[in-house]
Every structure is written in C-alpha cells, then in structure tokens.
Chains A and B, each alone.
Chain A
Amino acid sequence: MPTKRRVIHPWPLRLTHWLNAVAIVMMIGSGWQIYDASPLFNFTFPPLITIGAWLGAAIAWHLAFMWLLVINGLIYFIWSAATGHFKKFFPLTPRAVLHDLIAALTFKLPHEKGVYNAVQKLLYLGVLFAGIMVVISGLAIWKPVQLWFFCDALGGFYIARYVHFFCMAAIVAFLAIHLTLVAMVPKVLPPMITGGKIDP
C-alpha cells in the first residue's frame, strides 16, 4: 500500500517566500540609494548595486514596494498563525542552538527535509523579528508626525533611522547566510519552487 506523502513547502509559503524575495531586493536596493543621499556612517553604497538612478526614483521604488513587503508579510504571518507553521520554530533552547551550530561549523549537521535545526530556527525567528522592526522603523521615518507613536517608541526620528539601517543590515546578513547554505546544499532549492514531497 503506498504511503501518503506530504508537501515540504505548501504553496502559500512558497508564494509568499518568492514575493518577499522580490520585495526585499527592491527595498534594500532602493534603500541603499536613499541612504546615500544622507549617509549615517562614513561610507556610501556604490551606485552599481543601488536601485533608482537618483534619490527621487529610489524613494518612489521604496514607497511602491513597501506595499508588497507589508501586505505579503501580513499574509505570511496570518497563514503561519492559522496553520501552525510557527510551531516549526519551537522548541528552541540555547543548548540546542550551540550544539547544532558546532555541528554545522564542523560540517557534521545533516539536512533533514522538512525539519528545521536549532540554528535555522534561530535565524528564521531572528529575520522575522528584523522584518517586523524594519517595517515599524520605516513607518516611523515615513510618518514621524501622523505615526508619532512608532517614532516615540524607537526614541525619536534620529534614532529610528539607525534602527532602520541596522534592521536592514541584519536582513542582509541573514541573506548572506541563507544564500550560502542554499549554494552548499542545492537540493533544498527545488522544493522551494515545486513544493517537494516527503514521506510522513
């Protein structure tokens, strides 16, 4: 008798994942161009890797794709809460993270399809938190008068810009790890497109 196989990544997860990928690339690229107009630190992003030929265009891209980022993100959170997807990130203990991190760094951590190891759980929860904070700090910068409560909660407009920057930096760091791991274990990529099948 054939056993029923289950999908590794259900279609709502795949759809929101790839829409988010588009939104994140657009937001980061245009955000770097906006940053360059008034840098917070002693460096600017080279024009080759920014989106928008000048500040006006970059802001237009940023404020257009923020809708995709936020609406797609909300759909992801509602879907995850409704289906219990978030349960996959728990339980999560510091001991498990340490154990799996050492195993990963010594290339002894096997990839189990459909199961997150402790380091993955921590990274995903971390990037979700950065995602929420980048939106809140973005709203604080966009609307420091009408949405003053976001601005106040972050310590004012000046600090909100730094919060926004560091959330971006955290997401970029996550992306670097995420893409490196996909490059190292390429078999995880097709299921993110097709859904994949796994024995129960």
Chain B
Amino acid sequence: MSPLNRRGILLRALAMGAISTLPACNYEDPQNPDLADKFLHAMSYWNDRVQAALFDPHTLAPTFRPDQITRPPRFNAFYDIANVTVVDPTTYSLQLGGQIQDKSPWPLAQLNALPQQSQITRLICVEGWRVIGEWGGVRLSDFLKAIGADTTCRYVSFQCADGYYSSIDMASALHPQTILALTFLGAPLTPPFGAPMRLRIPTKLGFKNPKSIVQLAVTNVYPGGYWEDQGYNWFSGS
C-alpha cells in the first residue's frame, strides 16, 4: 500500500468515525437529555424566536385552484387509519380553558352558526411531502373574539380526542388564514381528517394542524405538543 492510499483511507476512516458516533445522541430519550439534546434544544428555541420575528401577519399562504386539489386526500397521523378515534358530533362540544372570559362549551351547531370562510391551501408535512385541500370553517381570530379570549397571551393550545395535543403562538393564531375547520372538500369533516373540528393553519407545518379538537385554551404557560415534546421545532412556521 502506498502512503498516498493510506492517507486517503485514514481521512475516510476519520470522517466515518465522526459521522457514525453522532446518531447516538439525539432526542431518543426526551426525559434524559444529553449534551447534544441540550444543544439542539437551545438552537430550536433560537429558531422559534427567529421564526416569530420573521412572521408577517399580512403575508398570506398561497392559495390554489380547485383543479389543483390533491385527490384522493392523504391520511396522516401517528397511528393507522383503522385506529382513528370517532367523535360523536351530536354530543360533541368544544371545551374552553385558560385566559378566556366565557368558558361555556361550544356545541357543533354553535360553531357552524358563526361566519364561515373557506380556503384552498397547501399542507406541507414535516417529512417533505405536500397536499392541497379545501377547508372551511371559523376564523380562529373571530372565535377568540367571540369567547373573550385574552389575545395578549402567548399561546393557544389544543387537546384532541385521540390524545394528540399541540400549541401555536398568538400572532399565528390571529392570522386571517388560521381557521377552526369544520368542512373538508365542501363536506363536513370525516373522522380520519379531523371530525368534527380541526385546526387549519397554512402558515405552519402539517403537524401543527391538530385534528378532532376537544379542548382549546389560551395561556402564557408553554403548552408544548405531542411531536414538539419529542424534538420537532415548536414554531414550525412555513
């Protein structure tokens, strides 16, 4: 073996060694963060702040033509479609919590009675794929006003029927395209796509669009989220 080859192999071995040790340290045990986890958390927190500064309440997510809608729609959750939680729409009511004046629950009929708007927008998954769909429902900013929510609070949090949970910043909650969706493709939501009500927020990644929401709260205490607590960036704005 010539010295040239030996050096090449050494360099490669060093590079491989450096790379292969890294997969060991990353968000595999959120309860016991190691040094790498703490570094990633600090950077993720910094990225939250950068994204909040970058967020322009007047910048709208792009909208699309009806013929651009993805058909059939793509189901996605942290479980299989066979295990979808079905919520009975007749007994459903949205529970309210936190810094809200009127915390009386909202039955579906009452949500349907509020002014509705619809949008054909793109949902981008954190995995990289995207789909285009048509969602209709109540503007979250209108709803927050209707219930007397303290919109100076930092967070709006959501609890779902299937145990999923997530939260968003108030500025994004008040964005005109952020809606409590009740319909999908012009018909009431079906269980796999978040019946009876889900959040549709085209200025954030897909996992920030919780489905089958049973409780909404306004708070200054960081609520986290199902994926966020495992390491996904909290703000995850588009």
Chain A interface (Cβ within 8 Å of chain B)? 25, 29, 34-35, 37-38, 47-61, 63-64, 67, 141, 143-148, 157-158, 161, 179-180, 182-184, 186, 189
Q: List 23 A-B contacts (CB under 8 A).
A: A34-B128, A38-B127, A38-B129, A49-B16, A50-B23, A51-B23, A53-B24, A53-B27, A56-B27, A63-B43, A64-B43, A145-B202, A145-B203, A145-B238, A146-B51, A146-B55, A146-B56, A146-B59, A146-B238, A157-B130, A161-B128, A179-B8, A189-B7
How far apart sit A32 and B110, CA to CA, in the bound complex (Å)? 47
Smallest distance from the beta carbon of A59 to chain B beta carbons, Å? 7
Given A53-B28, A57-B231, A64-B39, A158 and B59 contact (CB-CB distance below 8 Å): no
Closest 9 CB pairs of A and B: A57-B26, A183-B8, A56-B231, A38-B128, A64-B43, A37-B127, A60-B40, A38-B127, A145-B238
Output the nearest chain B residue to A40 by Cβ-Cβ distance.
B128
When chains A and B are docked, how far (Å) is the Cα of A63 from the Cα of B26?
14
Is residue B92 contacting chain A, with contact meaning CB distance below 8 A? no
Give the chain A neighbours of B60 by CB distance below 8 A: 145
B42's nearest neighbour on chain A, judged by CB, is: A64
Which residue, B39, B232, B238, has most C-beta atoms of chain A within 10 A? B238
Chain B, 25-67, contact with A by CB distance < 8 Å: what is the 0/1 string?
0111000000000011001100100010011100111100000
How far, in angstroms, from A60 to B235 measured CA to CA in the complex?
Answer: 13
Contact between B130 and A60 (Cβ–Cβ < 8 Å)? no
Asked if A183 and B11 sit within 8 Å, CB to CB, the answer is yes
With a cutoff of 8 Å between Cβ atoms, the chain B residues found around residue A59 in the complex are 126, 232-233
CB-CB nearest in chain A for B28: A53
Closest to A185 in B: B4
Partner of A47, one of B23, B202, B238: B23
How close is B132's CB to chain A, nearest CB, in angstroms?
11
Are B233 and A48 closer than 8 Å at their CB atoms? no
- Cα A49 to Cα B55 with chains together (Å): 35
Please, how many angstroms separate the alpha-carbon atoms of A57 and B227 in the complex? Answer: 11
Complex Cα gap A146–B50 (Å): 12
In the complex, whether B125 has a CB less than 8 A from a CB of chain A is: yes
Contact A25 B27 (CB under 8 A): no
* Shortest distance between the CB of A195 and any CB in chain B (Å): 20
A58 to B237, CA, bound (A): 17
Contacts of A148 in B (CB 8 A): 59, 62
**Which residue in A34, A52, A147, A183 is a CB contact (below 8 Å) of B7?**
A183
Knowing that A52-B26, A179-B8 touch, tell me 20 more A-B residue pairs with CB under 8 angstroms: A25-B19, A38-B128, A51-B22, A54-B26, A54-B28, A56-B231, A57-B26, A57-B231, A59-B232, A60-B27, A60-B233, A63-B43, A63-B44, A64-B40, A143-B238, A144-B124, A146-B55, A147-B54, A148-B59, A157-B124
Q: Which residues on the A side are within 8 Å of B44 (C-beta)?
A: 60, 63-64
B152 within 8 A of A: no
Whole-angstrom CA separation of A18 from B93 in the bound complex: 58
Say whether, besides A146-B56, A182-B11, A56 and B23 are in contact (CB < 8 Å).
no
Q: How far apart sit A25 and B21, CA to CA, in the bound complex (Å)?
A: 13
In the complex, what's the smallest C-beta–C-beta distance from A51 to chain B, in angstroms?
A: 5
B129 adjacent to A57 (CB under 8 Å): no
By a CB distance below 8 angstroms, the chain A residues around B233 are: 59-60, 63
Q: Which residue of A lies closest to B122 (CB)?
A: A157
- A144 surroundings in chain B (CB, below 8 A): 62, 124, 238
